[in-house]
Amino acid sequence: MGTADLEILYEDNHLLAVNKPAGLPTMGVAADELSLFVLARQYIKRRMNKPGNVYLGIMSRLDAASSGVVLLARTSKAAARLTDQFRTRAVEKTYWAIVAGAVQPTSGEMVDWLRKNEAKGRMEIVAANQPGAKEARLSYRRVRRVDDGSLVEIELHSGRKHQIRVQFGARGWPVWGEPKYGHAPPFAEGIALHARRLVVEHPVRKKRIEFVAPLPQAWLELGIDE
C-alpha cells in the first residue's frame, strides 16, 4: 500500500481525514512497517513539496483490524483544540458493527466499567470500585439482520480501548472476525467494526464539520447499503 491508495475524506490547512482500511495500523509500529501515520506524512510531504518534517497529530485512533474515519491535525494549534473536544466529549462518534446473533432489545444503552488485564493483554469488565476501572458508555440501535448476525449502529459516549468489542462480546454478541472477546463468525477484512462518522468543531472556523467513511468492499458484498 502506498500514499496513492489513501482514501482522503477531507483536507485543508488544519485537518486531514482519512478512511483507514482494515489491517493497517494507525501508528505505533516498528520503523520499517507501514502505518496510517507514516503514509499520511508521506502524502502531505509529497502534496506540499515539503523537504523537512511534517507535523501531524493523530486525533482519533482505530485498532488495526478496524476500518473507518481517522482524523489528523496538521498543526499543533488544531491538535490542542481537538484534544479538548475529545476530552470533554464534545465530538460525535458513530460506528457500524456486524455482531453475532439477534441483538435484543433492538436499541438501548450499555454502561460498564473497564480495566486492562495486563497479564492477559486484554480489556475486561470489572466492578466500578475496582482500581483503574473507567466507565464505558454507548448507545446502539439494531439496523437490520445480516445472515445470522445483526448490523448495529453505535454512538460512543466514551472512548475506552476495545470498548465496543468488549461490551458487545460480554453480552453474547461478539463482532464478526473478533478473535479476543468472543467466538464470532470470520470476516473477510479484519473485523466487522467501522468508524462510520465523526463530527467535530473545526478548530479554526468554529463550525461543526462531519466526516463520513464509505463502507469497505466486504460490507457491500453482504448487501449492506451505504
Catalytic residue among 12, 32, 63, 84: 63
Strand partners, 163: none
CB 60 within 8 A of CB 165: no
Strand partners, 94: 155, 197
CB 125 within 8 A of CB 133: no
- Concerning whether 63 is annotated as a catalytic residue, the answer is yes
- Cell numbers at residue 124, please? 475486561
Taking alpha carbons only, the member of 75, 73, 62 closest to residue 35 is 62
Active-site residue list: 63
